[in-house]
Copies of this chain bind each other. A is one copy, B any other.
Amino acid sequence: MKYYLGLDVGGTNFVAGIIDENYKIIEKAHIPAGAGRDIKEIIADMVKVSLEVVHKAGMQISDFTSWGIGMPSFVNPETNLLVHANCFGWKNVPIYSYLEPYIPLPIYIENDANCAALGETLAGGARGHENVLMLTLGTGLGGGIILNHKIYAGADMMGAELGHTKLVYNGEQCTCGQYGCAEAYCSATALIRQAKEGLKRNPDSFMAKLCDGDISRLEAKTVFEAMEQGDILAKQVIEQYIDYLSCAISSFVVIFRPEIIILGGGVANAGEILRKPLQERLLVNTYAGDEIGVPEIRLAECGNDAGLIGAAMLEKYGMDRNKKQGVEE
C-alpha cells in the first residue's frame, strides 16, 4: 500500500493528513492557523503539523514520495512565488524556498478549490467520474475543474478562477476589485448581502426574528431556515440566488460539459432545497439544455476533508506542469 502526505492550509486551521491508495484518511493532525502572525511562524506550523501526522502514524518522511499542499492561493510557475494568500495578507511569497529546508520531498502546491474538486472526484460525490466541476459556495465562490481525472488550472496554472468570471456585466463590485463577478452573486457572502437588501424593504421578514433583530448576525443558513418556515422574502431571495447561480454554472457547462457538478461549502449544507431547484433552473438557463441536457448536480460528500484528500493526491492528479516545480532532492 502506498501512502500520500497532504496539508490543507485554511484561514482557520491547518490540517495535515495521510491518505492511502483508496483515498481513505488514515491519520490526521490539526493546528490553528493563527493568521496575522509572522510568515516564518506560519511556515513553521505548516511543517510542524505535517511532521506531527507522520509521527502519529508511526511513519517517516522517507515513506512518502511527495508533500501536497492546498492553499487559498496559487503559485506563479514562472516566478515560483505564491501570488497572494489574502487570509494571511501574503503577496508574492517564495513559498518553495521557505518550505524546502524542512521536509525533503517534492512539494506540490495547488489552489484549495482545485484540491477540493480533486478530493470529491477521487473519494466523494463524483467518484468514478473523470470530468467534474466543483463549486464551493462559501465566503467566496471557489471553483475547481477536473479534466480527464486531473486538475485543470489553465495553461499557466493560474486559471480556473471560476468565481471571477463575469456574470452580471457592470454589476456589483467583487472582493477582487472587478465588477459583476460570479462570486459577487453566488457566494455565501453574496446570499447574505441579498437577504440584507431584502430586509431593508421588508424588515418584518422572519429572517430578522431568526437573528433576534440583529441583522449583522444573519447567516446563509438563516435564509434557508426562514424559507422553510414559510417566509416569503427568504423564498424570493433564495429563488433569485439560485437563478444567479444557475446562470453562472450554465457558462461552465457550455464550456466544459462536465459529467457531474459538485456543490460544496456552507451554502451547500442547505441540501436538497438548494440542489433540486438549482438543477431545474440550470436546465432552463443553459444553452441547448433542452436538446442535450445538463449535467447532474450533486452535493459534496467529503466535507472539510475534500481539500486534504485532493492535496495529498496532487503528485498523481495535479497538473502535469506541477512536476516542473518539484523540489530538486
Residues of A within 8 A of B (CB): 76, 83-84, 130-131, 145, 147, 154-162, 164-169, 171, 174, 176, 178, 180-181, 185, 244, 247-248, 250-251, 253-259, 285-288, 291-292
Other 10 A-B pairs with CB < 8 A, given A83-B292, A161-B255, A169-B244: A84-B291, A130-B155, A155-B256, A159-B254, A160-B255, A164-B288, A165-B250, A169-B247, A178-B286, A181-B287
Task: Report the copy number of this chain in the oligomer.
Answer: 2
Report chain B residues within 8 Å CB of A131. 154-155
Report chain B residues within 8 Å CB of A162. 254-255
Q: Are B287 and A176 interface neighbours, CB within 8 A? A: yes
Q: How distant is the Cα of A290 from the Cα of B256 in the complex, in angstroms?
A: 27
Q: Are A158 and B292 interface neighbours, CB within 8 A? A: yes
Q: How distant is the Cα of A157 from the Cα of B76 in the complex, in angstroms?
A: 30
In-complex Cβ contact of A288 among B83, B255, B285, B292 (8 A): B83
Q: How distant is the Cα of A145 from the Cα of B152 in the complex, in angstroms?
A: 14
Q: How distant is the Cα of A251 from the Cα of B154 in the complex, in angstroms?
A: 12
Nearest CB of B to A238, in Å:
17
Q: How distant is the Cα of A156 from the Cα of B178 in the complex, in angstroms?
A: 32
Q: Are A155 and B287 interface neighbours, CB within 8 A? A: no
Q: Are A159 and B250 interface neighbours, CB within 8 A? A: no
Q: Are A254 and B288 interface neighbours, CB within 8 A? A: no
